Amino acid sequence: MKPRIGFFDFTGCEGCQLTVLNLEEEFLELLELVEIVEFREVMSGAAESLDIAFVEGSICRPQEVERLKAIRARSKTLVALGACADTAGVNALGHFRDLQQMRREIYGGDAPQLLTEPPRPLQAWVQVDHRVPGCPIDGREFLAVLQALLMGRPPELPSYSLCVECKLAELPCTFERDQVCLGPVTRAGCKALCIEAGDRCRGCRGVIDNPRSDPYYRILEEHGLCAEDILQELRTFNVLGKGKQCASK
């Protein structure tokens, strides 16, 4: 019997699920190894139990908490899929705004049917066994995580910073272009995709376990950033969790 897996979404853009679907041929090959029993974007129906639940999005409403707990209860393994599920992602920026005022600005009224609470990552409410970071996730990394789980071993994420991948790819340092980059404290694994495209790292994969914050902050100060500027950079994807700890140092 094939392992039964499901995909679930909460508050987010669903870009991580689209990344899975965009695997195309590899996604079809995946169907030879697992049975997908829930995936709202491609099928209807629900399953009583799952071996692996991939959950995207942050938790913003009481009813979402109850639904998440129900998914947890019927899943042997739960994986946070993407930045919103892992750290609450950009949704967590709502912690700095009056949510009632935001609803008025976005929907043109109080919109009581869309009442929300400050966004939280999955781990604020249930046990999360593993995670696939990023905004959106990297499709190859998703496959590697799934492969590890199917082989009965824990998935391993890079423990080093994005700077390592930049140097291996012989990409010029973003700071040399006078652009602020979060690569020195951000978890590697994306192959420096944004930097290779001429952009900078905004930290969507979360902060590494033991960031060397002090030397990094000295570099930021040398580029004219004050403490509030540094906090603003870190807040984009890392309002909560390790990002908050890193920013408080």
- Residue 44 is predicted with a pLDDT of 93
Phi-psi region of 64 (alpha: psi -120 to 50; beta: other; left: phi over 0): alpha
Indicate the range of 32-46, 86-100, 186-200, 212-226 predicted with least confidence.
212-226
What does DSSP say about strands 75-81 and 50-56: parallel, antiparallel, or unpaired? parallel
Whether the CB-CB separation of 20 and 7 falls below 8 Å is answered with: yes
Residue 57, pLDDT score: 97
Q: Which residue has the tokens 């979360």?
A: 206
Which pLDDT score, from 0 to 100, does residue 249 have?
A: 45
DSSP 8-state assignment for residue 183: G
241 band by pLDDT with thresholds 50, 70 and 90? low
Measured distance CA(21)–CA(222) in Å, rounded: 43
For residue 75, the SS3 value is strand
Residue 49 above 50 pLDDT? yes
User: What does the alpha-carbon distance between residue 162 and residue 194 come to, in Å, rounded to a whole number?
Assistant: 11
Is the separation of the CB atoms in 160 and 123 below 8 Å?
A: no
* Confidence tier at 237 by pLDDT (50, 70, 90): confident
Residue 116 near residue 60, CB atoms below 8 Å: yes
pLDDT tens, position by position, 70-79: 999 999 999 9
> Given this model, what pLDDT does residue 229 score?
79
> If pLDDT is split at 50, 70 and 90, which confidence band does 246 have?
very low
Is pLDDT of 99 > 80?
Answer: yes
Rg of the chain over Cα atoms, rounded to whole angstroms, equals 19
pLDDT single digits (tens) 105-123: 888 887 777 788 889 999 9
**CB burial of residue 205 (10 Å; 0-12, 13-18, 19+):** buried
* pTM metric for this prediction: 0.89
What is the number of helices (H) and of strands (E) in the chain? 11, 5
> Which run of H or of E encompasses 78?
strand 75-81
* Residue 8 pLDDT exceeds 60: yes
- Upstream peptide bond of 136 is cis (omega within 30 degrees of 0): yes
Question: How far, in Å, CA of 36 to CA of 14, rounded?
Answer: 17
Q: How confident is the model at residue 240 (pLDDT cuts 50, 70, 90)?
A: low
Would you tell me how many other CB atoms lie within 10 Å of the CB of residue 57?
Answer: 27
Residue 93: what pLDDT? Answer: 86
Mean pLDDT across 41-69: 95
pLDDT at residue 204 greater than cutoff 90: yes
Q: What is the pLDDT of residue 103?
A: 84
Contact at 8 Å (CB) between 51 and 6?
no
Q: What is the mean pLDDT of the chain?
A: 89
pLDDT tens-digit series, residues 168-192: 999 999 988 888 899 998 999 999 9
